[in-house]
Amino acid sequence: MSQSISLLFGVHAHQPVGNFPEVLADAHLRCYRPFLHVLYRYPDFCFAMHISGWLLDYLVDSYPEDMALLREMVTRGQVELFGAGDTEPVLAAIPNRDRIGQIQTFSNKLEMKLGQRPQGAWLTERVWEATVVPALADCAIRYVIVDDYHFLCAGKTTAELNGYFTTEEDGRRLDLFPISEALRYRLPFSPASEVVTYIESLAENGAAGDGNAAIYFDDIEKFGIWPETYQWVYEKGWLDKFVQGVLSSPKIHTQHYRDYHAAVKTRGIVYLPTTSYIEMNEWTLPAQPANVYAELVRQAKTGGWYERDKAFLRGGIWKNFFSRYPESNWMHKRMLGLSARLAALPECQRSAAMQHKLYESQANDAYWHGLFGGLYLPHLRRAVYRAIVELEAMLDACVPRPARFVEDTDLDGTEEMYLQNGVIQAVVKLDGIGSVCELDSYAMKHNFGDTLQRQPEHYYHKIHRSGNDAQGHSGAGIASAHERVNFKQKIDAVDMEADEHARGLFVDRLNGTLVSYWHEPCVADGACFRADVFPLHIKKSFELADNRLHVAYRFAGEVEGVFRTEINLAMPSCGGWSGRYIHQGQIPGGFGQLLELSAMTDITLDDDELAGSVVLHVSSPATLFAQPYYSVSQSEGGFEKIMQAVTLQLEWPLILGELSVTLEFNTKGSHGE
């Protein structure tokens, strides 16, 4: 009797919290809708689906007909729904109480909106730490999906990975399915007939009747959104051909994970190391270690031993993103602080809105960077900060904070001073630079200090090597995003120059040299600093007044030259048409343009995305140099320059005893508009 194999086929649909409406609409048009409509025509093709909670809400509200179609497919037994955290957090990166809350929230949502409570869960970015087991088990999740690579790192062989295994932590059991990397890289990029033949070949592994399974679970966006895939998958019929090939094969039968799990025994106990999928090993490392790691991988492939021993060529872990990117770490620790404040509130003071904002602040995408991570994308960080700022305002209304306090929020050994008055908040880093690292407007729900510092990236070597020329793909099928080298814009060497310091607000230079300050006591609720650049003495202070941040300088002594301060403002419109400068009743340009003004005393940065503006006022006429600040990112679509902020340089000749700079934050209709 010929052997057969169970195909456990699953797809994961996700869009980041805060993504652009046009991106969501395009994803639905080119991927979610056609995928469901193709699969609907084949009721015998069983598959699993995970849709992240925020995306599910959007699809139910915006495309109810298609979600009704999905619910019908669930009802008729074709689709098994998978759970997760509601806003797609990396479970290992949030407190256990929030893991449980996120998982339960999403399981309830699936049951209410699609009629099925999940037994299995998708693990965000397949980030595995054993600490997540208790929360998953306590939420009635019986199994999760991770990569086969995780098992190889634990000493398993590929031949063994044709079923599920069992692990435990703190007395709770959880079963683990290994996703086939070979299938991940074939679907949907290889011709459909070749993929079916490959799955059939897997039927020969293992004894007959042993519950042999081919396990696939990966991003649905590969089926329509990745470059070339819409034409390949739908217009050229790849998905139809694949489903027809599977259903007509005498060796393959599709099966739900839950049914396979109920019918087949575990392959045994396993304890997995802390890891994610194999590409993450490189992405999470700083540039130089990543270069070393990539060279080791290259040598292994050249030497022909990579596939055999790749599990022992380990790079970094997902949490390295917090130590690698200060901006990610700062967001993460701010979120943890708010989670602790919310948990400490009496239950009668907590609200569903607070919980919702906390969960939004835990969405994974803005915390990491790789081919798919969104740390480099300002609109995704902005969504996290919006949730943080909104939640903080709610918590302050219940338990007010002091107007001034000091703590080491990000655990980097350097304290920060918080100044807040319930209208705005300025956080000053006590690191010797005397600059603002976070600047919040509670009315606009925005952090104007959210600017990403430019640092070396491992993928820069691909840009240098390729010289802004796209590389094509040869052979049958189409190229995966991992193989592509495309350029969305021309990228110059200056665009990849690393910053000397964090991109804060009020970073000062004297004759081109960075001014070093030390913190000294203040009598008022402000922050005071002093610098001695012999024979010049500088005193610098920060104060809040309603919706204004006031920064004052006093100079004593005589030094010829130029004093300059740099202000990096995260303006949501960036280089778009909805952000512009207003000076003396005129619009001299947009945020994406260069601007130089002499003898400037006032300028307004007006931003439609914020429904508000920032007014800059100086006490003594200054020369203003304004320009967009870019960083170079990678994505599945290629390399691109992303505008992070507006950089304002204010310059004065050193002939003044005192000067001040004020930033005023106005919503539409408020004073000053």
pLDDT digits (tens, 9 = 90+) for 414-468: 999 999 999 999 999 999 999 999 999 999 999 999 999 999 998 888 787 665 5
Per-residue buried b or exposed e for 365-393, using 16+ beta carbons within 10 Å of the residue's own CB: bbbbbbbbbbbbbbbbbbbbbbbbbbbbb
* Separation CA 285–CA 276 (nearest Å): 13
Question: Residue 672's CB: how many other CB atoms inside 10 A?
Answer: 14
What residues have CB less than 8 Å from 583, skipping those under 6 apart?
597, 600, 602, 603, 604
Q: 598: how many CB neighbours lie within 10 A of its CB?
A: 9
DSSP state letters, 2-19: ---EEEEEEEEE---TT-
The answer to whether 179 and 12 are in contact (CB under 8 A) is: no
Cβ atoms of 216 and 10 closer than 8 Å: yes
Q: Is 208 helix (H, G, I), strand (E, B) or coil?
A: coil
Radius of gyration (C-alpha) of the chain in whole angstroms: 27
In this prediction, residue 668 carries a pLDDT of 82
Delineate the domains of the chain, giving CATH numbers in brackets: 5-273 (3.20.110.20)
Output the pTM of the full model: 0.93
Q: What is the pLDDT of residues 54-72, one digit of tens each?
A: 999 999 999 999 999 999 9
Alpha-carbon distance of 540 to 343, in angstroms, equals: 38
pLDDT of residue 281: 87
Phi, psi torsion values for 627, nearest 5 degrees: -155, 155
SS3 at position 223:
coil
pLDDT of residue 278: 87
Phi, psi angles (nearest 5°) of residue 135? -65, -45
Q: At what angle do helices 326-344 and 352-361 cross, to 10 degrees?
A: 160
**pLDDT attached to residue 471:** 52
Task: Return d(Cα 406, Cα 619) in angstroms, integer.
Answer: 29
- For the chain, the average pLDDT equals 93
pLDDT score of 673: 46
Please tell me the chain's helix, strand, coil percentages from 3-state DSSP, rounded to the nearest 5.
35, 30, 35
Residues of the chain with pLDDT under 70: 1-2, 205-209, 373, 465-489, 636-637, 669-673
The three-class DSSP label of residue 181 is helix
Residues assigned a catalytic role: 125, 219
Sequence-distant (6+) residues with CB within 8 A of 164 are 143, 175, 176, 177, 178, 213, 260, 261, 264, 266, 267
SS3 602: strand
